[in-house]
Amino acid sequence: MYGYEITQTVKELTGGKIQLTEGALYPSLHALEAEGILITESEFIGKRMRKYYSLSPEGKTITKEKLSELADFMNTMKILLDLKTSI
Amino acid sequence: MYSISDQQIAFILNDIRRNGVEMEDLQSNLLDHICCIIENQLEENGDFEQFYYQTVCTFYIKNLSEIEEETKALLNNKYYYTMKKIMFVSGSVSASLISIGILFKFMHWPGAGMLIVLGTVLFSLLFLPMLFTIKSKEKQNLKDKIILGTGSFIAILISLAILFKIMHWPGANMMGVISLLTMILLYIPLYFFSGIKNQDSKANTIITSILMVAGCGLFMALARAPYASRIMSIKDTGNYLRMEQIYQAEKKQVDNLKVSVVQKKEVASTGDDIIRSCDALKSDILEWQTGFKTVDQDFERKNALIVDGWVRIYFEDNESARQKLADLRKLVVKYNAGQNKADSNPVHAVPLDAIDFDSSEEKILCALNNLVQLQMIVLQNESASGMKR
């Protein structure tokens, strides 16, 4: 996925509730690339270059870890706050 | 859908560059992003320039270069975390190495020196510089950074000075004096006066300054002043002088005895050799220490003092001195064997381990006294066997 595509996808998936700003998106993408979590492929569209981002194998495991951490955290918060929600 | 011309692409790229985005990667990313927005949202005959400025305005608060700054900050952050990790690991490893090393040193187990050296080097040359780099990133103004830098430098110097001191490496005292002086004259005043101005840190600054001054004072109390060293050297030299005088008196008595009694030739000659050999070693060591071959009553005025130190240093790079010591050892072995044969009780064997100066931790005064004691034992044996006759 390239940058613009990411912002549009996020917008679509959240029904417009989360709009990634360019000022937040690109710095994060560059940092994640430098850390080896993302790998990139470049393609020329006419005169301009488009960079496609995807998760590296290492990035995939880290994502899994972080997601399970988040789920854990959310479970804990649910217990702590004793939420009586019906999701 | 709007279609963008090559000219317009060049225009956008130029504008991005002009607004302070220097990273090429980021330039092309932003270019593609803007083009996508224009292509998707601008009508076919819309005003390109107006729409472009409207769009790019939503990317930032004050300036487009904010994106680049943020990117750089995030990229640096990566090293920040790695550095923090290195700092914690090197800190805990060095702390445990030093603690284990000190335990080994107390117990006289082998390897203590290596553990302490490794721990201290890790602590002062990796942990402290890391601590400085990380902390200095948190400080905003130059003054705080200077204070932090001075503090780290002093901490490194003090830990190295202590390491050099316990390993008996040269330059330890110099490093200690420099670090303590910079701490008292430069660091503590800087720290105190900059911290006391700030209401929030006032109390903390006062307490920390008091702790540092007291710490420096206690540290200084551990060090021996040159004046005290001189007093100690005078006492030591006086001690040796009395020892030597007692020996000379005893020698005179035994010599008088010898004249009247015929000695057993064999034992007596080895004994004489030991006495001569000891005399030679004594005068060599004395000359190295005081510049004179003997010590007399006037030693204090002549400043001919025996200094507190290891005698091993004298033998370290002195082949002829080591040879003399080896010869003395051989004589002692021969003498002790001869004494056993002669079975003329009560005689004392001459202790061989009292003269292993080149390998033991023997002080200079102790070594000289040991040599005198050796001579006196030989004299006593001679007079004892002389009385018998």
ipTM of the modeled complex? 0.86
Chain A residue numbers with beta carbons less than 8 Å from the beta carbon of B32 are 2-4, 45, 48-51
Chain A residue numbers with beta carbons less than 8 Å from the beta carbon of B35 are 45, 48
pLDDT score at B315: 87
pLDDT score at B347: 62
Give the closest-approach CA distance of A28 to chain B in angstroms.
Answer: 7
Radius of gyration of chain A (CA): 17
Q: Which tens digit of pLDDT belongs to each residue from B137-147? A: 777 788 888 89
**Contact at CB, A26 and B78, closer than 8 angstroms:** no
Chain A residue whose CA is closest to B23: A30
Q: For residues B157 and B178, is the Cβ–Cβ distance under 8 A?
A: yes
**Residues 6+ positions from A4 with CB-CB distance below 8 Å:** B32, B33, B36, B37
Q: Which tens digit of pLDDT belongs to each residue from B76-130? A: 777 777 888 899 999 999 999 999 999 999 999 999 999 999 999 999 999 999 9
Q: Which of residues 14-53 of A touch B (CB under 8 A)?
A: 21-24, 26-31, 34-35, 45-51
Q: What is the DSSP string of B244-312?
A: HHHHHHHHHHHHHHHHHSPPPHHHHHHHHHHHHHHHHHHHHHHHHHHSSSS--TTHHHHT--PPSSBTH
At B159, which amino acid appears? S
**Residues 6+ positions from A75 with CB-CB distance below 8 Å:** none
pLDDT score at B352: 82
Asked if residue B131 has pLDDT above 80, the reply is: yes
Q: Which tens digit of pLDDT belongs to each residue from A12-35? A: 999 989 888 888 899 899 988 888
Question: Exposure pattern of A29-66 as b/e (b: 16+ CB <10 Å)?
Answer: bbbbbebebbeeeeeeeeebbbbebeebeebeebeeee
Residue in B6, B66, B74 closest to A30 by CB:
B74
Using DSSP, state whether A48 is helix, strand or coil.
strand
Chain B residue whose CA is closest to A33: B75
Q: Which of A80-84, B127-131, B361-365 has the lowest mean pLDDT?
A: A80-84
Asked if residue B210 has pLDDT above 60, the reply is: yes
Share of chain B above pLDDT 70, in %: 94
Which of A19, A30, A38, A42 to probe by mutation at the B interface, max B CB count within 10 Å?
A30
Alpha carbon distance B99, B106 (integer Å): 11
Which pairs count as long-range contacts for B341-346, CB under 8 Å and 24+ apart, including other chains? Answer: B342/B264, B342/B266, B342/B267, B342/B385, B344/B264, B344/B384, B344/B385, B344/B388, B346/B384
Structural tokens at position A2: 């390239």
Alpha helix positions (H), chain A: 3-13, 22-34, 57-81
**DSSP label at residue B353:** G
Question: For residue B381, how many other CB atoms are within 10 A of its CB?
Answer: 23
Give the closest-approach CA distance of A26 to chain B in angstroms.
Answer: 7
Chain B residue whose CA is closest to A49: B28
Residue in A24, A34, A49 closest to B28 by CB:
A49
**Contact at CB, B67 and A30, closer than 8 angstroms:** no
Q: Which tens digit of pLDDT belongs to each residue from B231-269? A: 999 999 999 999 999 999 999 988 887 766 655 544 457
Question: Exposure pattern of B139-154 as b/e (b: 16+ CB <10 Å)?
Answer: eeeeeebebbebbbbb
Structural tokens at position B357: 């100066």
Q: Which tens digit of pLDDT belongs to each residue from B84-97? A: 889 999 999 999 99
Residue B363's nearest CA partner among B227, B220, B225, B240 is: B240
Chain B residue whose CA is closest to A52: B29
**Residues 6+ positions from B40 with CB-CB distance below 8 Å:** B1
Chain A residue whose CA is closest to B63: A23
Tell me the longest C-alpha to C-alpha distance in chain B: 138
Pairing of strands A48-55, A38-45: antiparallel
Alpha carbon distance A20, A16 (integer Å): 10
